[in-house]
Structure 1
Amino acid sequence: MDDIDDSIKPERIVFVTVGTTCFDALVKVVDTPEVKRELFNKGYTQLLIQIGRGSYIPTKSSGEGVCLAVDYFTFSSSIADNLRSASLVISHAGSGSIFETLQLRKLLIVVVNEDLMDNHQSELAEELAERKHLFCASPQTLLHTIKALSLDTLAPYHPGDARPVAKLMNRFLGFLED
C-alpha cells in the first residue's frame, strides 16, 4: 500500500546567469565535475546555465545516477522565472542580476569577471558581500565558496527608499513638489 518512493528528492535548482555578456570562465567552472559534485553533495538536483554570448557549451546531463541534471540556454526575454525557481543563484556581477536576486531573497554567489577592464561591478559585489547579503567569488575560488556556503552568515537585503533622494534632487533642480 505504501507507494511513496523515498528516493525522490525535491527539486533544488542552481541557476547560473552571465547576463548578456560572454563569461566563459564562469560557465566552464560550473561545468567541472568538482563543482557539480559539490553542488550535488549540498543537495542540489538541477543546474541551469544561461551562457549569454559565450562560446563554451556546457555538458548536458539528465541527472540520472549520482549527478545533477544539467541544461543551458543562451538568452531569454526574462530570467525572472528562473530566479524564482532557483534555490541558489550563481551570477555575474551585473547590478540588475544582483538586486533582482536579492529582492527575491535567494541564496546568491556573485562571481566577478576579472577579465573586464575597470571592473566597477566587483566593487558592488564586494561591498554587498562585506554587508553579508551575498557571497563573492572569482572563477578560481568558486568551488571553495560553494564548499563553505553557510546560510547562517547571511543577512537579508532590505532595499533603500529612494524617495528622499528624489525629493532632494527635484528641489535642487527647481521642480515643484506634489
Structure 2
Amino acid sequence: MKTVFVTVGTTRFDELVTSVTSPGAVEALKDHGYEHVVLQVGRGSVLPGPESCQGLKLEAYRFKDSIAEDMRRADLVISHAGAGSCLEALGARKPLLVVVNDKLMDNHQLELAKQLHMESHLLYCTCSSLVETLQTMDLSVLLPFTPGLTKNFANFLDKALGIQ
C-alpha cells in the first residue's frame, strides 16, 4: 500500500494538518497512487479522524517514542521544516516534501528548505501552495542525501542561525 507519512515533529502546525487533509490535497495524493496517510500531529489542536481523507486510509497520532518506523514504511514524507525531521527523512532516503511554516518570524526553516532544494534533496512549499505542489511534484528529480554531507549540513545550519 503506497503510504505518505506526514510529521510536524514536536511543534504545533495545525495549518499543515488541515492542508494535507484538504479535499484538494487528498485528490492529488490519490492521483499519485497513494492509498494510506500516517499523520503525526504533535501539540496541535487538530487530530483528524479516519473520515478526513475520503478515499485514503488515515492513521493520526500525536507522539510516539520514535517515528523511524513510520518513515521507513513511507513512500513519501511530508514534513515541517525542522532540521531534525528533515535530516531523519533524508537519512532514511525517502522522497521529502517540506512544508515551511511561513507564519514564523525570523524563518530559518525557509533558508534550510531552499538550500536543500537547490541541492535537489527535497521539494518545498508553504501550506497555501501544498495542493499545487502535490499535483505537479516529480519525485524522480530528487537526489539522495549523502550521510557524509552531515558536516556540510551542520555548517550550513550554523551559518543560517548566525552561529558561525
Under TM normalisation by the shorter chain, which class is it?
A: 0.7 to 0.9
Give the partner amino acid of 1:98: C
Q: For the Cα contact (< 8 Å) 1:13–1:88, is it kept in 2?
A: yes
Q: For the Cα contact (< 8 Å) 1:114–1:138, is it kept in 2?
A: yes
Give the partner amino acid of 1:130: M
| SS of equivalent residue, structure 2 residue 75 | strand
Q: For the Cα contact (< 8 Å) 1:87–1:107, is it kept in 2?
A: yes
Aligned to 2:135: 147
Give the partner amino acid of 2:77: V
Q: For the Cα contact (< 8 Å) 2:21–2:52, is it kept in 1?
A: no
Question: Normalising by structure 2, what TM-score?
Answer: 0.86
How many residue pairs match? The answer is 151
**Deviations 1:18-39 (CA, angstroms, capped at 9, x unpaired):** 0000000000001111111110
Aligned to 1:6: none
Aligned to 2:65: 77
Written as runs of structure 1 = structure 2, the 5 A alignment for 1:41-60 is 41-60=31-50
Identity %: 44
Matched, 1:123 2:111: yes
| SS of equivalent residue, structure 2 residue 66 | coil
Aligned to 1:34: 24
Which structure has the larger Rg?
1
Greater helix share, structure number: 2
Aligned to 2:8: 18
Aligned to 1:107: 95
Give the partner amino acid of 1:99: L
Tell me, which stretches of 5 or more residues in structure 2 are unaligned? 155-164
Cα separation, 1, equivalents of 2:24 and 2:140: 24
Tell me, which stretches of 5 or more residues in structure 1 are unaligned? 1-10, 166-178
Query: Structure 1 segments of 4 or more deviating over 6 A?
Result: none
Superposed displacement of residue 14, structure 1: 0.5
Cα separation, 2, equivalents of 1:62 and 1:122: 28
Root-mean-square deviation (CA, aligned residues, Å) is: 1.8
Question: Normalising by structure 1, what TM-score?
Answer: 0.80
Give the partner amino acid of 1:30: V
Give the partner amino acid of 1:119: N
